[in-house]
Amino acid sequence: MEQLLTGMQKCVIDGEIDQIQGYVNQALSDGMEPSVILNNGLIAAMNEVGQRFESGDFFVPEMLIAAQTMQTGLAILKPLLIKADIKTAGTIVLGTVKGDLHDIGKNLVAMMLEGAGFEIRDLGTDVNSEKFIEAVRNGDADILGMSALLTTTMPTMKETIDALVEAGLRNKVKIMIGGAPVTEKYAQSIGADGYAPDASRAVSLAKSLLN
Amino acid sequence: MMKTVNAVAFQSPQFSLLSDCQIQDIHLAALEVLRETGIRFHHTGAIDLLKHAGAFISDGNLVKFPAKLVEQALASAPSRIIMCDRDGEPSVFLEGTKTNFGTGSDCLNLLDPYTHEHRKFTREDIINGYRLVDALPNIHFQMSIGIPIDIDPKLTYDVQMLEMLSNSTKPIVFVTNDLASCQRAIDMAAAVAGGPEALREQQHILLYSEPSSPLQQSTTAVDKLILMAKTELPVVHSPGPQMGAVAPITMAGGLVMSLAEILSSLVIHQFTNPGAPFVFGAGIHHMDMSSMQICYASPEFQLTKAAIAELGRWYGLPTWGYAGCSDAKVMDEQAAVEAMISVMAAKLCGSNLIHDVGYMESGLTTSFEMIVLTDELVAMVDNFIKGIEVSPDTLMVEELNTVGPGGNFLSTKATRSHFRSYWFPTLLDRKIRATWLEKGATTLGQRLNLKVREIIESHQPKPLATDKVQALQTILEKAS
Ligand code: B12
Q: Which CATH number fits domain B79-385: 3.30.499.10, 3.40.605.10, 3.20.20.480, 2.40.50.100?
A: 3.20.20.480
Per-residue confidence in pLDDT tens, chain B, 480 aa: 455 566 667 788 889 999 999 999 999 999 999 999 999 999 999 999 999 999 999 999 999 999 999 999 999 999 999 999 999 999 999 999 999 999 999 999 999 999 999 999 999 999 999 999 999 999 999 999 999 999 999 999 999 999 999 999 999 999 999 999 999 999 999 999 999 999 999 999 999 999 999 999 999 999 999 999 999 999 999 999 999 999 999 999 999 999 999 999 999 999 999 999 999 999 999 999 998 999 999 999 999 999 999 999 999 999 999 999 999 999 999 999 999 999 999 999 999 999 999 999 999 999 999 999 999 999 999 999 999 999 999 999 999 999 999 999 999 999 999 999 999 999 999 999 999 999 999 999 999 999 999 999 999 999 999 999 999 999 999 998
DSSP B201-216: HHT-EEEEE--BTTTE
- B289 interaction partners in chain A (CB closer than 8 Å): 59-61
Please give the residue of chain A at the shortest CA–CA distance from B245.
A104
With a CB cutoff of 8 Å and minimum separation 6, the contacts of B189 are B161, B165, B172, B199, B204, B205
Quick check: A119 and A142 in contact, CB under 8 A? no
In single-letter form, the type of residue at position B223 comes to: D
What does the alpha-carbon distance between residue B145 and residue B305 come to, in Å, rounded to a whole number? Answer: 21
A51-82: burial string, b at 16+ Cβ within 10 Å, e else: ebbeeeebbbebbbbbbbbbbbbbebbeeebe
Distances (CA, A) of B318 to B94, B209, B258, B309, B366: 5, 16, 16, 8, 26
DSSP 8-state symbol, A171: G
Cβ distance A155 to B292 less than 8 Å, yes or no, reads no
Is pTM, for the whole model, over 0.90? yes
What does the alpha-carbon distance between residue B342 and residue B475 come to, in Å, rounded to a whole number? Answer: 38
**Contact residues, chain B to chain A, C-beta under 8 Å:** 108, 147, 149, 153-154, 156, 177, 212, 218, 242, 244-246, 287, 289-290, 292, 364
Task: Please tell me if the CB atom of residue A156 comes closer than 6 angstroms to any atom of ligand 1.
Answer: no
User: How many other CB atoms sit within 10 Å of the CB of residue A97?
Assistant: 29
Q: Determine the distance separating the centroid of ligand 1 and the alpha carbon of B347, expressed in angstroms.
A: 28
Choose between A54 and B68: higher pLDDT: B68
Mutating which of A52, A57, A101, A112 best tests the B interface, going by the most B Cβ atoms within 10 A?
Answer: A101
Of B263, B337, B352, residue with least CA distance to B305: B352
Atom of ligand 1 nearest to the CA of A103: 9
The per-residue pLDDT for B11 is 83
Quick check: B399 and B393 in contact, CB under 8 A? no
Please give the residue of chain A at the shortest CA–CA distance from B156.
A152
Task: Please tell me if the CB atom of residue B149 comes closer than 6 angstroms to any atom of ligand 1.
Answer: no
A2 phi/psi in degrees, rounded to 5: -55, -40
Give kind and range of the element (H or E) at residue B69.
Answer: helix B67-76
Considering CB atoms only, which of B156, B212, B244 is closest to A101?
A: B212
In chain B, list all ranges with CATH 3.20.20.480.
Answer: 79-385
Task: Please tell me if the CB atom of residue A151 comes closer than 6 angstroms to any atom of ligand 1.
Answer: yes
Give kind and range of the element (H or E) at residue B398.
Answer: helix B397-403
To the nearest whole Å, the CA of B247 is away from the closest chain A CA by: 11
3-class SS letters over A12-49: HHCCCCCCHHHHHHHHHHCCCCHHHHHHHHHHHHHHHH
The protein residue with its alpha carbon nearest to ligand 1, atom 29, reads A105
Cα B10 from chain centre: 27
Beta bridge pairs of residue A122:
A94
- B292 interaction partners in chain A (CB closer than 8 Å): 60, 105, 108, 198-199
**Which of B294, B301, B359, B367 to mutate for ligand 1's pocket (most ligand atoms within 8 Å of CB)?**
B294
The per-residue pLDDT for B3 is 59
- Coil vs helix vs strand at B455: helix
The per-residue pLDDT for B176 is 96
Which domains does chain A show, CATH number per domain?
2-83 (1.10.1240.10), 91-210 (3.40.50.280)
